[in-house]
Amino acid sequence: MLWPERPDVWRGGAKPAQAAFAAIAAAILTSEPVTVGVSAAQYANATERLPRDVRVVEISANDAWVRDTGPTIVCDARGRRRGVDWIFNAWGGFDGGTYFPWDLDDQVAGKILRIEGLDRYRAPFVLEGGSIHVDGQGTCLVTEECLLNPNRNPRLSRAQIEALLGEYLGVRTVIWLGRGVVLDETSGHVDNLACFARPGEVVLTWTDDRRDPQYAISRDAEQRLRAARDAHGRRLTVHKLHQPGPLYLREEEAASLDARPGTRPRRGGDRLAASYVNFYVGNRSVVVPQFGDPRDAAARRGLARLFPTRRVVGVDSREVLLGGGNIHCITQQVPRVGARPRRPSTTPARPRKALS
Ligand code: KQY
């Protein structure tokens, strides 16, 4: 993780967000070790607020979205790990990006790989970790809104992007969804919309309200997922996780943000891109966003059914949502030494009843 501090992204001088990040680190710590990168200016404050067992290292960054600025660590068949360092442009550069500058963010992946002692592939194209989800068996989920957006790689075609994903992630099948969550400022990252619970099973954010603009987006994603085959020719089971809210930025929350040239302004009443799909899967736990919303408990119950060997822990993450993302966006897993891609089972899995 990275420590939040900038007052133009995190309201109230980032204090409420720091409390949320510390609670999320504590939840993950019950399952695996946690490292948090912090600026020199925040080193003392972060060590004071984070649980004692968190490893704190000094890393300069422009903000705290390590899913996107950190490396994507890949493993080969022998369990050897290397990191992919994507080019980062703050979710769209000068065409819809969320802040300027982003030069320190673009160095984060390389710094983490040095700290972890892992070799690095610098990819020749713009991508964020939150814009891809893989099943570990050759299939990748992405959205057209993000990966085909002219604010990322205007000179690359869909086929060229698929080829690059194949080269850098080892995937053979790319499943293209359409748009991401309504008003998601990342240009529709897939990690807020849909993800694999395991090979062959996808969790999709959903609403039953046909008047909500999210309805058509989620319905279209559902249809594409049902029509798709994964890299092993399997059909996908789609599990629907009903969205909270809709939720909106409150006037007093907007008022406690600093204004800064180059940073996307936020206004009271703005709709927030809230989704329970933005969860973190640990070795023994699943850490899921909670919003103080009537749908929170159903999201925890649904995920407990989908991840029966892990403890589902809900953490109030509205403060992370106010910054434009959620728990998956502020975390980046490092596979253990010797981790190998799971081979597809030769015996067909017992079909799991879809969450609906
Ligand atoms: O979706 C993510 N992976 C990150 C969200 C970052 C939003 C920046 N304002």
**HEC string for the chain:** CECCCCCCCCCHHHHHHHHHHHHHHHHHHCCCCCEEEECCCCHHHHHHHCCCCCEEEECCCCCCCHHHHCCEEEECCCCCEEEEEEECCCCCCCCCCCCCCCCCHHHHHHHHHHHHCCCEEEEEEECCHHHCEECCCCEEEEEHHHHCCCCCCCCCCHHHHHHHHHHHHCCCEEEEECCCCCCCCCCCCHHHCEEEEECCEEEEEECCCCCCHHHHHHHHHHHHHHHCCCCCCCCCEEEEEECCCCCECCHHHHHCCCCCCCCCCCCCCCECCCCCCCCEECCCEEEEEECCCCCHHHHHHHHHHHCCCCEEEEEECHHHHHCCCCCCCCCCCCCCCCCCCCCCCCCCCCCCCCCC
In the reported structure, the alpha carbon of residue 329 is separated from the centroid of ligand 1 by a whole-number distance in angstroms of 6
- Atom of ligand 1 at shortest range from CA of 128: 3
Q: φ and ψ at 218, to 5 degrees?
A: -70, -35
Structure tokens of 347?
A: 């015996």
pLDDT number for residue 344: 76
CA of 323 to the centre of ligand 1 (A): 8
Centroid of ligand 1 to alpha carbon of 351 (angstroms): 33
Q: Is 185 in the pocket of ligand 1 (CB under 6 A)?
A: yes
| Cα–Cα distance, 141 to 133 (Å, whole number) | 5
Give the span between the Cα atoms of 130 and 65, in whole angstroms: 9
**C-alpha–C-alpha distance, residues 78 and 96, integer Å:** 41
Q: What are the tokens at 116?
A: 């972890």
CB of 67 closer than 6 angstroms to any ligand 1 atom: yes
> What pLDDT does 343 receive?
74
Kindly report the protein residue whose alpha carbon is nearest to atom 2 of ligand 1: 329
What pLDDT is stored for residue 338 in this prediction?
78
What span, in angstroms and rounded, lies between the C-alpha atoms of 240 and 205?
A: 6
The one-letter amino acid code at 118 reads: L
User: Ligand 1 pocket, 289 CB below 6 A?
Assistant: no
- Most ligand 1 atoms within 8 A of CB, residue of 11, 67, 141 to mutate: 67
The closest alpha carbon to 286, from 307, 265, 260, belongs to 307
pLDDT for residue 24: 98
pLDDT of residue 25: 98
The parts of the chain modelled with pLDDT lower than 50 are none
- Asked whether the beta carbons of 256 and 283 are under 8 A apart, the reply is no
Which one is catalytic: 75, 146, 195, 329?
329
Q: Is the CB of 5 under 6 A from ligand 1?
A: no
Q: Return the ligand 1 atom nearest residue 323 CA.
A: 9
Going by alpha carbons, the residue nearest to atom 9 of ligand 1 is 324
Question: Would residue 329 show up in a list of annotated catalytic residues for this protein?
Answer: yes
d(CA 110, CA 36): 15
CB 59 within 8 A of CB 36: no
What pLDDT score does 352 carry?
A: 78
- CA distances, 47 to each of 53, 259, 290, 319, 356 (Å): 10, 28, 25, 20, 42
184 Cα: distance to centroid of ligand 1 (angstroms)? 8
